[in-house]
Amino acid sequence: MKNAIVIFFIIVLLAIFFRFYQLGANPAGFFTDEASIGLNAYSILKTGADTYGRPFPVYFEAVGDYRDPVMIYSSVPIIAWLGLNEYSVRFVSAIYGVAAVIMIYFLGCQIGGQKVGLWSAFLLAISPWHVLFSRVGFQLIASIFWLIFGLYFFHKSFKNYHWFALALCGFILTFFSYSSIKLYLAVLPILFLISRPHELLTLLKKWQIWTMTAVGIAVVIILIYPYLLDGTFFKRWQQVERKDFNVQKVAQSYINHFSPVFLFEKGNSEFPDESVQRHSIHGVGELYWFQAPFLILGIALISFRKSLKKNYLFYLSFLIIYPLGSIFTEVVPQATRASAGIIPFQIITAVGITEFFALIRKKSLLVTARVMVVLVVVFSVIHFFFALKNYPLKSADYWGWQYGYRDVISYFKSKEAQYDDLRITHRYNSGSELLNFYSTIINCKKCSVMNNPIEIDQKRKQIFAVRFDDLNEARERYPKLKFHTLERIYLPNGLTEIWIGEFRPFQKL
């Protein structure tokens, strides 16, 4: 393909733009999961131990949960370079996001040629689903990269088994990247056996493959063995699994993951009955509408055309089981736990686009089709850019990225000498982790999380940062006290999120 290198370079620049543009300010706010990753990476950097003092752990305890290690250890060199702050934590995700775009190009080329590789990379570069998670400090973004990495070298190992070592490394790092991804790793070998039985069985005839696999499994078992004994390994699954498990709800959850409302129209955050606003960008779906016809065409051609089935049946099967990471936890589709689906959606759409143009024989029609597709794609990407730009206006509150903690701690620090206690509302998702993060940066020694329910000591000089519900609670518990506002923290949309002030006795007239 002519100018392929130039096109690839432009795609990478596009991926960089969408992942680094206003990275420190969008999303507006900083979530607990991000703070936990940053704190543990910083602790490893400074002490060689996690925040609980455990030296170089495999799993990191954090706010009643245990986090996988890959994202945390990946963050250590970046935090050493940029310091501990919101930008450095998200910088790691952005790097993984761009690297995944580059890697899926090579994967697409390996299984379907350069055109499929370029289209796969382009679609991932502009993917609303992937762009958002490349801009926040969530573990899942590392798992997407390492899974693509593992798949690429696994495909290469069909021709030269020496590549299997790198594939195995990729899958092991995927395993230690994100809890939900582990389910897919258990199923993917079966999908390869169904889709590429001859190549897989030929590969398995080599003793070197069995040796490398045995070593890989041994490494994983050695690393997780202590956590299997004490139950830590299963703790995250126990937290998110659905307690009222039944076939009907699982089936409904599975269907919802293929809903046009979720995929093309509203995404995760605006899906009916969803309250959390962090997991997708408002105004767009997880995929673009223009992908729909090409996705359908790709599925149809892979299903019925023998020449495509060999290379792509695995990814069609992957697409079918992509809700696996989420269906046992929520009825509402989860863009986070089902994020592995990002991979087959882009690849199958790329196949559909490539084959669509190949089906058009008449040159004039081909030119017209290309122009129309380019125009639709350009307008779709422009629409997405403005949706991304406006994202802070709709996702900064409690149900979004919980904006305002840095501003509160900064204000408290400026007033620290004037007060005995500086108390911040407990109405944050694991606010103690955010307090530890910002206190490490700003060094506010008197700052602390407010008790639940609120407690006011009139014998001490106290200042509070509260939400509206805290004010209502205080009125009921302390009817003789009135809140005197000294400062307000405003969301990007102009609404008040936090009130900062003192509780004072009502003055008699």
346-390 pLDDT tens trace: 999 999 999 999 999 888 899 999 999 999 999 999 999 999 999
C-alpha triplet 398, 401, 404: angle, nearest 5°? 75
Cα–Cα distance measured from residue 25 to residue 466, given in angstroms and rounded to the nearest whole number: 23
- Asked whether residue 203 falls in the same domain as residue 264, the answer is yes
User: Do 118 and 1 contact (CB within 8 A), yes or no?
Assistant: yes
Q: Which residues pair with 488 in a beta bridge?
A: 499
Do 362 and 484 fall within a single domain?
no
CB-neighbour burial class of residue 190 (10 A; exposed 0-12, middle 13-18, buried 19+): exposed
Q: 237: pLDDT confidence band, cut at 50, 70 and 90?
A: low
pLDDT for 415 beyond 80: yes
Considering only residues 239 and 211, tell me which one the structure prediction assigns the higher pLDDT: 211
Convert 88-149 into a string of H (helix), E (strand) and C (coil).
HHHHHHHHHHHHHHHHHHHHHHHHHCHHHHHHHHHHHHHCHHHHHHCCCCCCHHHHHHHHHH
Q: Is the pLDDT of residue 249 over 90?
A: no
- Collapse the DSSP code of 31 into the 3-class scheme (helix H, G, I; strand E, B; otherwise coil) and give the result: coil
Give the burial class of 211: count Cβ atoms within 10 A of its Cβ; 0-12 exposed, 13-18 middle, 19 or more buried.
exposed
Q: Domain boundary at 393, 418, 452, which?
A: 393
Task: For residues 180 and 320, state if they share a domain.
Answer: yes
Tokens at residue 413, please?
């620090």
121 shares a domain with 203: yes
Ramachandran region, residue 57 (left: φ > 0; alpha: ψ -120 to 50; beta: rest): beta
Answer whether residue 13 is part of any domain: no
Q: Are residues 371 and 441 in the same domain?
A: no
The CA-to-CA distance between both ends of the chain, in Å, stands at 84
pLDDT above 60: residue 428 = yes
pLDDT per residue as tens digits for the range 339-358: 999 999 999 999 999 999 99
Residue 240, pLDDT > 80, answer no
Residues 143, 188 within the same domain: yes
With a pLDDT cut of 90, the percent of the chain lying above it is 77
Q: Is 229 inside any structural domain? A: yes
Domain-located, residue 33: yes
Other CB atoms within 10 Å distance of the CB of residue 163: 16
Question: Is residue 14 in some structural domain?
Answer: no
pLDDT, residue 330, reads 74
- pLDDT score at 239: 55
Per-residue model confidence (pLDDT) at position 242: 57
pLDDT at position 509: 46
Q: Which residue has the tokens 């699994």?
A: 241
| pLDDT at position 502 | 93
Q: Is the pLDDT of residue 19 over 90?
A: yes
Return the structure tokens found at 76. Answer: 């250590």
Instruction: Extract the tokens encoding 343.
Output: 């991979």
Q: Which of 344, 368, 393 is the last residue of a domain?
A: 393
Instruction: Please indicate, yes or no, whether residues 336 and 445 belong to a single structural domain of this protein.
Output: no
Q: Say if CB 334 and CB 259 are below 8 A apart.
A: no
So what's the pLDDT on residue 221?
93
Mean pLDDT of 166-193: 94
Query: Which among 368, 393, 418 is the end of a domain?
Result: 393
Least Cα distance to 31 among 450, 430, 339 occurs for 430
Any domain includes 21 = no
- Residue 242 falls within a domain, yes or no? yes
- Say how far apart CA 402 and CA 493 lie, in whole Å: 13
User: According to the model, what pLDDT value does residue 184 have?
Assistant: 92
Residue span of the structural domain in which 409 resides: 405-505
Residue 195 in tokens: 């889709």
| Rounded Cα distance, 62 and 295, in Å | 39
Both 177 and 259 in one domain: the answer is: yes
> For residue range 262-294, what is the model confidence (pLDDT) as tens digits?
999 999 988 887 888 899 999 999 999 999 999
Q: Six-digit token pair at 505?
A: 């006795």
Q: How many other C-beta atoms can be found within 10 angstroms of the C-beta atom of residue 351?
A: 29
For residues 387 and 490, state if they share a domain. Answer: no
Higher-confidence position of 99 and 247:
99
How is the beta sheet containing 462-466 ordered, strand by strand?
447-449, 421-424, 462-466, 496-505, 481-490
Residue 484 is predicted with a pLDDT of 94
pLDDT surpassing 80 at residue 308: yes
- Give residue 391's pLDDT band: very low, low, confident or very high (50, 70, 90): very high
Helices 306-320 and 86-112: angle between axes, nearest 10 degrees: 150
**Position 133: which residue type?**
F
How confident is the prediction for the chain on average, in pLDDT? Answer: 92
Answer yes or no: is pLDDT of 236 > 70. Answer: no
Q: For residues 400 and 440, give the distance between their C-alpha atoms in angstroms, rounded to a whole number.
A: 23
In a domain, 476, yes or no: yes
In sequence order, the β-bridge partners of residue 26 are none
330, HSE (Cβ side, Cα atoms, 13 Å): 20
Q: Answer yes or no: are the C-beta atoms of 64 and 33 closer than 8 Å.
A: no
Instruction: Encode pLDDT of 219-229 as tens digits.
Output: 999 999 988 88
Confidence label for 250 from pLDDT (cuts 50, 70 and 90): confident
Q: pTM, whole model, 2 decimals?
A: 0.94
> Which whole number is the average pLDDT over 324-337?
85
In the block, residue with structure tokens 């899942």: 140
2 occurs within a structural domain: no
* Same structural domain, 421 and 385: no
Whether residue 125 is predicted with pLDDT greater than 90 in this model: the reply is yes
Question: ω before 505 within 30° of 0 (cis)?
Answer: no
Place of tokens 């998702």: 429
Tokens 């936890």 belong to which residue?
329
pLDDT band per the 50, 70, 90 thresholds, residue 47: very high
357 and 431 part of one domain: no
For residues 279 and 282, what is the distance between their CA atoms, to the nearest angstrom?
9
Based on the fold, state whether residues 456 and 371 are members of the same structural domain: no
Domain count, the chain: 2
Helices (H) and strands (E) in the chain, counts: 21, 7
pLDDT band at 142 (very low <50, low <70, confident <90, very high): very high
Query: What does the buried/exposed string (b/e) look like for 140-153 if buried means 16 or more CB atoms within 10 Å of the residue's CB?
Result: bbbbbbbbbbbbbb
pLDDT for res 244: 63
Give the number of C-alpha atoms closer than 13 A to the C-alpha of residue 8, restricted to the C-beta side. 19
Give the pLDDT of residue 248.
86
Position 115 pLDDT exceeds 60:
yes
